[in-house]
Chain A
């Protein structure tokens, strides 16, 4: 395999780090070192990473302002619950269907709306998120406004960890290929991109489908951890939260999205001790970051071993 030959040391190091993180946290969970509260935070953290990395594919790499990510998440949540609760399907299949359902929604929404540009696309996707919410609100079979309760708790650490790794791996491999370069060229200059032979509508739809798919995965994981889902859980504010992470991390940087998701999750956890000031402090921190790093924490750069190596080389000089 070429993958092994190219850079065995880096690959080995990455696997080692991942295995380390996985087992350390699994150890803390198994031996009850991590309280239920922190396990909840950990889950939120993982879901935020999945959501931010996948939205970044649409907003950051492709440059299409989408405000409907929570809508795709809700489709994943509801679809997966129907499969585990009503059809007694295994969790893996339920999650797969969650991805598929959200991806299909991405396709259906994407075809008409991705011909729109900028503000119009933002409004259309915003509308889509609201429509999904209102539809769920009015379907009695899935509990209407009250939502669904008593969802089995199937989302464990291995599922979360696996999903995060899968999301990052797929999106990173996609963006670092000819297909990814085509997607980025759309963000850079749609007209030039099309004139270089790139079918920009198809690639926008591709980014939209893949982004939606992972939002659906996050929805399925969410539903099977937090026991209850309601249409209001997946409102505009949720989409907005994810957008904040993407902008904060830097549009078009996967590692930026991961770092920002971690940062925002920890920040809101810490701020929960100051309930009155929470939103004010949250906004202030974000404003301060944007003043000093308007391009986001990472800009459009990626954190990689290569950057570290270059930094060291420069230091020697």
Chain B
């Protein structure tokens, strides 16, 4: 198997709305793929289907050769898919450190009784998790923010913390939903480098949704364009940039924006 992810004929409807219809996609191992498209195209819905938040109406999702369609989210996480959210979903009232520690859950190697009786094993296990969590925070330059509540971090740091938390689950595939949203150009540049570096360091495949075209074009090796729930085009960034159908889909959006005066 060369593909880490293979999606076939994926369809999801909400009432009468076809949010995702007959989508076919694949991601090769180690690849960095972008999913773009106008607002409401169904990108986040694709992510929710991959991670088990929604069940597909039709179609299959193969992860590392194994069908994961219909599995519950925690099972899919354990298989090795981790994600971030378009509207940041950190554990707000907990510290940055605890946010990451929670995601190390599947590495907990002591039992409940060990915890209750505070055995040596408990302390060793906790020390290991703490150390690993701190290492991750350092990588994301959040080491000195370890004791800050997640909700008190500035926006860009919350986005980074979400990626750190996702990596703590030890994924093979990392999926990022608009990681640069709300970041300034310098932060976006730094993030681009970080994602690139993280992919190599952690041996990941990455799928990301992004509206920031400079990030998408600079980072992604291949792109899928989604429009009205369907794949409109796919290919290399240069091909997508010059694809008339894509230009039209985005232009359409621009025109609507101008007309509606936003």
Contacts and interface: CB of A to CB of B under 8 A. Distances in A.
Interface in B158-198: 165, 168-169
Q: Is the interface of B mostly helix, strand, loop or mixed?
A: helix
B129 A178 contact: yes
A297 B124 CA distance: 34
B91 A189 contact: yes
B125 A197 contact: no
A293 interface: no
Interface stretch (B27-35, B114-122, B216-224): B114-122
A200 B90 contact: no
Contact of A195 (B51, B112, B120): B51
Contacts of B243: none
A93 B261 CA distance: 75
Given A3-B118, A185-B102, A178 B126 contact: yes
Given A178-B126, A179-B112, A192 B90 contact: yes
The bracket for how many chain A residues form the interface is 20 to 34
B256 interface: no
A197 B115 contact: no
B116 A173 contact: yes
Contacts of A139: none
Contacts of A173: 115-118
A177 interface: yes
B202 interface: no
Interface stretch (B38-46, B103-111, B244-252): B103-111
A200 B74 contact: yes
B26 interface: no
Q: Is the interface of A mostly helix, strand, loop or mixed?
A: helix
Given A3-B118, A194-B73, A196-B169, A178 B91 contact: no
A195 B73 contact: yes
A193 interface: yes
B53 A191 contact: yes
B93 interface: yes
Interface stretch (B4-12, B77-85, B204-212): B77-85
Given A2-B123, A185-B91, A198-B102, A178 B115 contact: yes
A4 B103 CA distance: 29
Interface in A155-193: 170, 173-174, 177-182, 184-185, 188-189, 191-193
Contact of A174 (B91, B93, B112, B119): B112
A190 B73 CA distance: 11
B133 to A, nearest CB: 11
27 contacts: A2-B119, A2-B122, A2-B124, A173-B116, A177-B115, A178-B110, A178-B125, A179-B112, A179-B115, A181-B101, A181-B105, A184-B94, A188-B92, A188-B93, A189-B90, A191-B89, A192-B90, A195-B53, A195-B77, A196-B74, A196-B82, A196-B105, A196-B165, A196-B168, A197-B105, A197-B169, A300-B93
Lowest 8 CB-CB distances: which A-B pairs, in order? A177-B115, A188-B91, A197-B77, A2-B123, A192-B89, A178-B108, A194-B73, A196-B103
Given A180-B115, A193-B91, 5 more contacts: A2-B119, A177-B122, A178-B115, A184-B102, A189-B89
Interface of A: 1-3, 6, 170, 173-174, 177-182, 184-185, 188-189, 191-200, 206, 300
